[in-house]
Amino acid sequence: MDWTAILLTVKLAALTTLLLAIVGLPLAYWLATTRRRWRAVVDAAVAVPLLLPPTVLGFYFLMSTGPNTAVGRLYGRLFDGTLPFSFAGILLASVVYNLPFAVRPFASGFAAVDHRLIEAARCLGASGPRTFLTVVLPLSWPAVLAGLVLAFAHTVGEFGVVLMVGGNIPGVTRTIALAIYDDVQALDYASANAASALLVVFAAAVLGVTYSLQRRPLPL
């Protein structure tokens, strides 16, 4: 088995999940609570990766982040490097691609919190962020956890986006899913089998844990 690829995959999934927590939680809270017209547009934009083939998303990501694009130039000035065919590139693409898998569970969890509790918190002197941390999160954590787990698991199994954006550079952008593909191409079925079995066990474990958490009430 390609342990370098496995480690790289875990690193990618962990960082993607972390970034999704930072970006996705506030975004989901905004989606769940705002009454602005913009909501529907943003909601739809977040959901787009659910419908697009990963290769399409990867293709446009590649086109819009190359060294001659505005994003590419800005990135080059800030970090001295390029996004395509780098770890940072697949990380960013992963975050975009996985946005709906994290944000949608988050948002539905937040929307299920009785809005009267949120208003009560505000009227009792809690600011917006404080209300989020002390009332909303504690009451919606199973949904938040589900979103994070789904995003992590989904990143682990990602293929098209990583291939398009990252190429297939061992130790840099070659994730386990790409390694399996390479193994099969090289007719190394034993290695492909081992890695695939690992992913199956992983997926089953993740779903089992997530589902049981959904049914459990708050750990009081």
CB of 117 or CB of 209, closer to other proteins: 117
Summary count for the chain: helices (H), strands (E):
11, 0
156/169 Cα distance (integer angstroms): 17
Q: Which residues bind other proteins (CB under 8 A)?
A: 35, 114, 116-117, 119-128, 134-135, 138-139, 218, 220
CB of 29 or CB of 87, closer to other proteins: 29
Shortest Å, Cβ 150 to other proteins: 24
**Residue burial 178-205, b: 16+ Cβ < 10 Å; e: rest:** bbbbbbeeeeeeebbeebbeebeeeeee
CB of 121 or CB of 148, closer to other proteins: 121
CA–CA distance from 4 to each of 79, 170, 175, 178 (Å)? 25, 8, 8, 12
Q: In the chain, what is the greatest distance between 2 CA atoms, to the nearest angstrom?
A: 66
Shortest Å, Cβ 106 to other proteins: 18
CB of 122 or CB of 213, closer to other proteins: 122
CA–CA distance from 1 to each of 33, 130, 183, 189, 195 (Å)? 46, 46, 10, 11, 6
CB of 44 or CB of 51, closer to other proteins: 44
Q: Which residues contact 30 (CB under 8 A, 6 or more apart)?
A: 42
189/182 Cα distance (integer angstroms): 10
Residue 28, both tokens: 């989901």
Shortest Å, Cβ 119 to other proteins: 6
Shortest Å, Cβ 20 to other proteins: 24
Shortest Å, Cβ 36 to other proteins: 11
Shortest Å, Cβ 43 to other proteins: 14
CB of 26 or CB of 67, closer to other proteins: 26
